[in-house]
Every structure is written in structure tokens, then in C-alpha cells.
Homo-oligomer: A and B are copies of this chain.
């Protein structure tokens, strides 16, 4: 356990390092208002803190920087959630006061604000459409061999896909099919559509719909569950402003990671309630072992609808970021609750 004085010193060092990105020396700490001890005393404590693993020394004659363990302690016990400043609050107020009907739009703009306010890279995972239920299905023919299919889900998401119409299928055929599908598939989760058709409806089809063999390929195109682009990022370039990423090689690793959507999804998915902080090695992926990821999910009717998160160096302004994500996720939850509820 840390003494009160040690905590004071650790907090001071983390604060200092977060803002100046340079090893903190004993003198710097002792000069702070909230510290009443001489540099020498601090030095002794710092040596202890290093021994216990809270601090590290880049080299013998340098100041100390927090270890990842130190950050963890800071986040868990030392930091005081800070109030947001006026202008940031205003931005958020305005965002949610404006009329945003589209889920995607809301998410994208939230991400944008988040990255602008924090100067980190923000990432948002949109809702999994996966288990949304089909509400309505429609097909518009475009010409002899092409048509547009539209799937509306219970949450109001619209999925569209262009499909090719097989030779020998008439408009009436399509209509019949669509009617039948609508009657039978309403309420079925998207990811089970195809399965349901193949297992339960084929027979029915053969009885009610002419030419049904030709229609099969069309149905399959229609019901394919697509790999969806539900990831939104903003402020990717902010990474470039961080001193820990002045080396292009490091930037590259991160950027490439951000381009792989499944990796990002895995990295940011967050089942917990409240704000979650993952520091350095607490992240599975090696590429982000010197980064921190802070995330929070937003919830409608008790079900997680998506996640909102930030990616930055381990030297992250946790105080600010945590309150910000807390506020934003609550706002998002409320916002979507109002739309869906």
C-alpha cells in the first residue's frame, strides 16, 4: 500500500508527465503547490516508488515516468474526474440539441467531436445489425436483369443491395416471391433469414410460386448477410501529433491496424457498463501495447447498441477522457432511447 505522501507524489508525476511528455524530476515535483517537501525527500520516495514498480527511469540521470502499473493505480485510485470546460460542454449540448435522425450520422458526428476535444483518435462501433429483425422487404426492378432489394429492420435500419435477376424470371414471379417472403420472414433476425428460407420455406415456395427454381439464386443474393461497415473513426491524424509517435514506423503500425476493421472491432468491443480503461499491455494486441484504449458503450433498453472509444498513448489525459466518454455515452443512450423507445 502507498502512503498518503507517496500517492501525492505519484499523482503529481503522472499529471506532470501527461501534460509535458517528459520525465519528471524531483525538483519539478517539489516546486508544485500541493507538495510541501524538498527535492531530496521526493527523491527518496521516488526511489521507493520505482522499486515497487509504479515508476520507471528511462536512464540513470533522467527523471521518472509512470510505469503502466503506475497509470493503472492512478486511474483506479488517484485521479479525480474533472469537469468538462465550458466550450466542450457547449459543443456536446449543441450536438444533441440538433436533430439527428440517422444513427450513422449521430455516431459519426459524436466521433468527430470526441476526437476534436481530446486530440486523440476516436473510434465508434455502430450497432450490430446482426440480430435486428426483418420488418419489411421490397424489390424494385431497374431493368430486365437488375433490381434493387431493400430490407427494413425493426430498428429502422435500411439495408439495400443490388441483385441480378435470373433469365426467365418475370415481374409477377418476383412479386409473388416478395409477398411470400414478407409474410413468412417478418420478425426473423437478419442473420437467420437465409437459414429460415432454406430449412422451412422451400417446400412452401414450390407450391405457391411459379418458376421458383429460377428464383433461388435471387433469394440468396437478397438475403446474404453482409459484412457491414459499422466502424467509424475520426481524428486518425491526431496520432501524428503525439510526441510518442514522431517515428513514422510506429505510426505505420497503428495506422495499418486501424484499417483492419475486424481487428478494430475486437479491440474496442466493450461489454462492461460504464467507462473502461485498458492501459498498454492490458490490450491483447501487441501493436497497441504502448497505447491506451478508453471506451464506453451506449445502451438502449438494457441492450448495448454500440461502443464509443478513444485510442491514444499510455500517457493519456485519463481524467478528461473518462468524464468525457461518460457524458457522451450517457447522452447517446438517452438520444437513441428517445428515438427507439
- A interface residues with partner B (beta carbon < 8 Å): 99, 101-103, 135-136, 138, 140, 142, 146, 148, 150, 152, 156, 158, 160-164, 221, 236-237, 240-241, 245-248, 251-252, 255-256, 259, 339
Shortest CB–CB separation between residue A158 and chain B, in angstroms? 4
Please determine whether B162 and A102 come into contact, CB atoms closer than 8 angstroms.
yes
Task: Name A237's contact: one of B103, B152, B161, B252 (CB within 8 Å).
Answer: B252
Please determine whether A140 and B152 come into contact, CB atoms closer than 8 angstroms.
yes
A161 / chain B contacts, CB cutoff of 8 Å:
101-102
28 of the cross-chain contacts (CB-CB < 8 Å) are A99-B164, A101-B161, A101-B162, A101-B163, A101-B221, A102-B162, A135-B140, A138-B138, A140-B152, A142-B156, A146-B156, A146-B339, A148-B152, A148-B156, A148-B158, A158-B160, A160-B160, A236-B259, A237-B252, A237-B256, A237-B259, A240-B248, A240-B252, A245-B248, A246-B248, A247-B248, A248-B248, A251-B251
A135 / chain B contacts, CB cutoff of 8 Å:
140
List the B residue with the shortest CB-CB distance to A102: B162
Task: Name A146's contact: one of B101, B138, B241, B255 (CB within 8 Å).
Answer: B101
Complex: how many Å from CA A263 to CA B164? 36
Shortest CB–CB separation between residue A107 and chain B, in angstroms? 13
A102 / chain B contacts, CB cutoff of 8 Å:
161-162
A148 / chain B contacts, CB cutoff of 8 Å:
152, 156, 158
